[in-house]
Amino acid sequence: MPIQKRNIFTRFLIWRYKHISNKTFVHILSVIVGFLAGLAAVTLKNTTYFIEAFLEQGIIFSNNQLYFILPVIGLFLVFLYVKFVLKKPLEHAVSSILFTLSKRKGLIKPIQIYTPLITAPLTVGFGGSVGLLGPAVASGAAISSNLGKLFHINAKTRSLLIACASAGAIASIFQSPIAAIIFAVEVFSLDLTMLSLLPLLLASISGVLTSYFFLGNEVLFNFTITDKFEIKDTFFFVLLGVGTAFASIYFTKMYFSILTFFKRFKSPKYKLLVGGITIGIMLYFIPPLYGEGFGLINNLLEGDHLKALGKTPFDQYTSNIWVVIALLFGITIFKAIAMTTTIAAGGSGGIFIPTMVMGSALGNVVAKVINNSGLGLVVSESNFTLIGMAGLIAGVLHAPLTAIFLIAEITGGYELFVPLMITSSISYLITKNAIDHSIYTKELAQQGALITHNKDQTVLTLMHLDDVIEQNFKTVTSTMTLGEMLHKSVSKSTRNIFPVIDEEDRLVGIILLDDIREIMFDSSLYDTTEVGSIMHSAPEYIFYEKDTMQEVMKKFQDSGAWNLPVIKDGKYHGFISKSKLLTAYRRKLINFTK
């Protein structure tokens, strides 16, 4: 920033501190963040749809053979961007944001503002079977993070603004401001207080107004509910809840299995080639897997399953309803595979919308099976399509409230609130019992980097080892004599503990002042007693690379020690004292809750 502009900006900051309270300024920033996140979402949607429309001009649907090559082209373009511009692997949008909140104080690099706006349209527009919501949230989060940094906002408020960005992006994409707020609370584990609720509300309103301004009243699902909830259908909604729960478990396990499989390929080129061809084959046989899949959902809601399935090699058999059911169930099975393959092969996209597509197909399948069972039963296929989406969102994302309000808002389907609650709650409870963490949070939980609604655990997650490690200890070697230790270390130290290291700085033991108190004034032992003969092992060790703050606390509790050594890269790195750890915890707790 030029000196003149920097001076003007500095004067603005001074004026702001004098005339605008922090609370009011956060509210202003939340509106700005909601607008910019909504603008990013609109840009993302329009860019993707432009690419899809360009490719559809007599290319895709007239010649299914091109399904084999289009995903490869899209992934290759993303690969070029990542290699020559980004120069680091793409990160999963929501998971990387959660990690940033817990371990990077909400700081996101500016390049992440426009990276999703480039890579996601290339991925989805060329047939990648992923969604745009995750990239929209990622871009919005990067905007809010850098805006907070520009205005010298503290880490806690910066985290709130990132949640506001997610609310703005979701409100813009789905035009569902209430669900956007709930998503931010459920996924980002915010406390639902007025301090957080009002900024989220302002950002959500700003995001949805941005969408209305640029896109008008265009809605994702042009559907009006005509079949209301009937009590006789309760059992079937319970059944759908169980079905979506098992589908959610399948979705999650398949996601991590495919990611693990692709990790075997060391070269990104092999991932690209294998993934692109695999996606192409699936698109050839199941065209609705192309892109996000909103067309499938809308066609199922309208009751046109043949249009939803598109042109497939099985067209001559689709007059048989059971073939249609099988093909729709195939979408349920292969959407998870196509989505994860796209991400694992190097593509950019989210999992939220593919979850909705998978749920809509499964809900429609369940309804068709009931209606064609020959038992004289009749249920609304469109309603089951909607509620199936809610069941998958609740199960896969572990976000039942988001599922209920999102489906209700985007379809105007508040008449279905009861079945939405039944299916979503059952799906969530079964899935949560089988899988502790969602796709967003599993790896973060394993790293000890997951923020939850549990304040104690969240505070520990937000703490960093580097903040509590002390290194002002005088080291000694095992070959030192007692006299050398007293002269070189004890007399010059303010601490009562001395780490014993070898030639390669590896910790071989420790000596407490209490260990030598009875002999330290016996000069006859100064030359005959070596440190190695009086040292002993530490009661426990803290490993810098793998121990979380929760594990550090547990080691102090189990060992009863007041100081524990830290090992980094196999070498002695310092000590953590219980008193400093508890002081840091108390300070972080005060800052987090005030």
pLDDT in tens, 199-248: 999 999 999 999 988 877 666 666 667 778 888 889 999 999 999 999 99
Which stretch of DSSP H or E encloses residue 238? helix 234-262
Residues 294 and 443 in one domain: yes
Residues 570 and 483 in one domain: yes
pLDDT at residue 104 greater than cutoff 80: no
Residues 553 and 469 in one domain: yes
Calpha distance 141→159 (Å, rounded): 9
Residues 25 and 53 in one domain: yes
Q: What is the mean pLDDT of residues 255-269?
A: 90
Residues 7 and 137 in one domain: yes
pLDDT tens digits along 427-448: 999 999 999 888 887 766 665 5
Q: What is the mean pLDDT of residues 398-407?
A: 92
Say if 220 falls within a structural domain: no
pLDDT of residue 445: 61
Say if 222 falls within a structural domain: no
Residues 331 and 470 in one domain: no
Alpha carbon of 125 to those of 41, 128, 353, 592: distances in Å? 15, 7, 15, 42
What CATH number does residue 533 fall under? 3.10.580.10
Which stretch of DSSP H or E encloses residue 211? helix 194-215
- Retrieve residue 299's tokens: 């066609």
Q: Are 377 and 371 in contact (CB under 8 A)?
A: yes
Burial 249-281 (b: 16+ CB within 10 A, else e): bbbbebbeebbeebeebeebeebbbbbbbbbbe
- Retrieve residue 135's tokens: 């990239």
Residues 270 and 206 in one domain: no
pLDDT of residue 340: 93
Number of domains in the chain: 3
Residues 9 and 149 in one domain: yes
Which stretch of DSSP H or E encloses residue 552? helix 549-559
pLDDT at residue 39 greater than cutoff 70: yes
Say if 501 falls within a structural domain: yes
Residues 363 and 418 in one domain: yes
Q: Tell me the average pLDDT of the chain.
A: 86
Q: Are 340 and 346 in contact (CB under 8 A)?
A: no
pLDDT at residue 165 greater than cutoff 70: yes
User: Residue 188's domain spans which residues?
Assistant: 3-215
At 297, give phi and psi (nearest 5°).
Answer: -60, -45
* Of 159, 189, 215, the domain-final residue: 215
Q: For residue 83, give the DSSP letter.
A: I
* Of 421, 447, 473, the domain-final residue: 447
CA-based nearest residue to 229, from 398, 72, 417, 385: 417
The pLDDT confidence band at residue 66, using thresholds 50, 70 and 90, is: low
Q: Which residue has the tokens 């000196």?
A: 3
Say if 226 falls within a structural domain: no
- Retrieve residue 324's tokens: 């249609």
Counting every residue, how long is the chain? 594
Residues 353 and 261 in one domain: yes
* Of 215, 247, 269, the domain-final residue: 215
Q: Are 350 and 133 in contact (CB under 8 A)?
A: yes
Q: What is the mean pLDDT of residues 131-142?
A: 92
Q: What is the mean pLDDT of residues 138-159?
A: 89
The pLDDT confidence band at residue 562, using thresholds 50, 70 and 90, is: confident
What CATH number does residue 170 fall under? 1.10.3080.10
Calpha distance 391→404 (Å, rounded): 9
Say if 221 falls within a structural domain: no
Calpha distance 42→214 (Å, rounded): 7
CA-based nearest residue to 409, from 141, 220, 156, 198: 220
Least confidently predicted of 3-12, 41-50, 318-327, 486-495: 3-12
Residues 486 and 432 in one domain: no
Share of the chain above pLDDT 90, in %: 40
- Top pLDDT among 341 and 411 is at 341
Least confidently predicted of 123-127, 223-227, 415-419, 459-463: 459-463
Residues 57 and 206 in one domain: yes
Radius of gyration of the chain (CA): 29
Say if 30 falls within a structural domain: yes
Say if 223 falls within a structural domain: no
pLDDT at residue 459 greater than cutoff 80: no
The pLDDT confidence band at residue 317, using thresholds 50, 70 and 90, is: confident
Alpha carbon of 432 to those of 337, 421, 427, 428: distances in Å? 21, 16, 8, 6
Say if 29 falls within a structural domain: yes
The pLDDT confidence band at residue 52, using thresholds 50, 70 and 90, is: confident
Strands 563-568 and 542-543: parallel
